[in-house]
Structure 1
Amino acid sequence: MRKLFGVTLAMLLIGLPLTAQDKKPEGEEKKPLTAKQLNKEVLDEIQKFQKENKSGDRAELLKVVDQGFERFLRAIEDNPKASDINDMVSFAARYVTSEKSMNKLGETVVLKTNILQGEKPFQVIMMLGGRNPKFLDKAMELNKSKEVTALVSFLKAQAAMSEFSESGKKEDKEKVLKLVAAVPADMALDIGSPRKYEIGKMAAKLPKKLEAIENLAVGKPMPEIISKDLDGKSVKLTDYKNKVVVLDIWATWCGPCRAMIPHEREMVEKLKDKPFNLISLSADGEVKTLKDFLEKEKMPWTHWHIGASGEVHDILNIEHYPTIFVVDHKGVIRYKEIRGEQLEEAVEKLLKEMETK
């Protein structure tokens, strides 16, 4: 997370429009802004800054976003029993720019509001608990309902899954399984959307994901991948044996994925005479979306279409985009989640290994 810049409260107030907390005409009482009204004002301030500052100074933009966050924080503190307090917290979370701010919001919710003791604190717990284990502990302490206990267990299981993915330690795996066991199979929560948040079904899938993580560890053989090319023909990873292969699981709508394209293009050109293949696996919903994109963007390497979900996603345990695997000529996973110069250096190292054997 980006660190918060040292901006004093006095500075935060500069240039902001009057709100219910600002000075009012004598004898006149203004109603506090609703969450939606405040969000509109904050967005207007951000958009105004962006229009007036063409230099694209990111540090200054973050200060404006932080100002918006502070306004929401004051609104929560000043009117903690507002009918839309849950929305107020949810909007505030959108303007968090640092771990410090996230922790500050969590403390305010615990100390100033009764959200966690309410009947449906689920959305707030999800938004604030993912990066704040102490907040999850406090939520379960203040609300001992089976729903909150299940949700906290599930969120902690997801966090433990990430830890296991990095460590591979047996104790981390057992931690995940223990937390999963605390989530009833039929548990579904109303998080304020038309669809239920079916954490029971999602938790039941985590043990299989653990198995996938183990099978995809660096040093393990890469599982066989069977997919479709742009013409709908069946293709498989073993067709590329005796070559160094980079698997790039991406989507045309993914900003970080698209940012990789220029360097990937340079790398492919540089290594065009080497036993190397870059295979991009598109997670776009429709193959036409990919084809249309490739007509405009030069990406002269191998492309497969795996869709938004399915067997390949399960085999590779896809949780985010891009997901990168680097496989050596023997079909062994040698690197994961590397990009740019680091990716190119890894490929060149594996190619040299081939030459010396």
Structure 2
Amino acid sequence: MTRALIAAILIAFAAPVHAEARDLTVALVAGGPVQGLRQTYILPFLATGTPVVTATRQPGLETLRDAAARWDVVQLGAATLAAACQAGLVEKLDWGAIGGRDRILPQAATECGQGAFARATVLSWDREKFPGTPTWQDFWDIAKVPGKRGLRRSPRGTLEIALLGDGVAPNDVYRLLRTEEGSDRAFRRLDQLAPYIVWWDAAGRDGARLLTAGEVLMTSAPSQAIALANRGGAHSFGLQWAGELVEIESWAIVKGSPNHEAARRFLDFAGDPKVQARLPAVAALGAVAKGAQEGLSPEQSAVSPTVNSGAALFVDEAFWRENGERLGKRFDTWVSR
């Protein structure tokens, strides 16, 4: 046998062995609830006998290009998921192979994504300074409840809250925001509150930190951050679930993954309501599998966005894809006045 033939045989066998040798790799979003997701999904799935490791990725679409060389399953926000699905960077799901679409809440079951958890932006306040239970309309009533107000420095979420604070029902918010009249109404409402606003952003200075520092009396804030701040009795921050803004994070399978069957098994496992039922206790997040709320303790139910979603507004990703640039420019101009 010639050296050339031996080399060709070695090359032919080396590539597939290398592809199969990599353990299933699940990429979690850096800065997100990494430890909570590891405890809820990764470690229990590892116990089923399938080797699995985690990596972290930066948010956004660009990190998904050529991702099959590194990752098999990725955690994606709704906007990135929609863009990745359209661009063919993630697989279209075979729902019959992963437990069925009907076991997941409809807002969390899409063409390319299976819901991993729900997170929410809520109205929060310091109970030691204000013992009542304010609403978004009270948020604007400075005469009744004096004090600074915290809002995220972004049109997304803030404009919805402005309309909720003007008495608009959650089901009507996006219908109004699609019109010039509705947008004008939201900005007029922000005009009324402008002297009292303290802005926060997602990069390390969120609403929970404003409350902790005593910079505001009440604020919009990630519900998870508020719930975790309250653990151990360190703080007494209220959570107003009426008018919460709910967003879904999902699992998706990377296009071309060499571990496609293991990735399917992971999604099948991750959609089990018994698995997702751990989310409130472990990470103060909401489950999106139907039935996952059954059997939760009162303490766990009290921090779950999905348990408390009766008067929720689910963030409309299609609206923001269509109107984000227009409203973003207007918001930036308004803030910089």
Calculate the TM-score normalised by the size of structure 1: 0.26
Looking at CA atoms only, which structure, 1 or 2, has the larger radius of gyration? Answer: 1
Greater helix share, 1 or 2?
1
Calculate the TM-score normalised by the size of structure 2: 0.27
Greater strand share, 1 or 2?
2
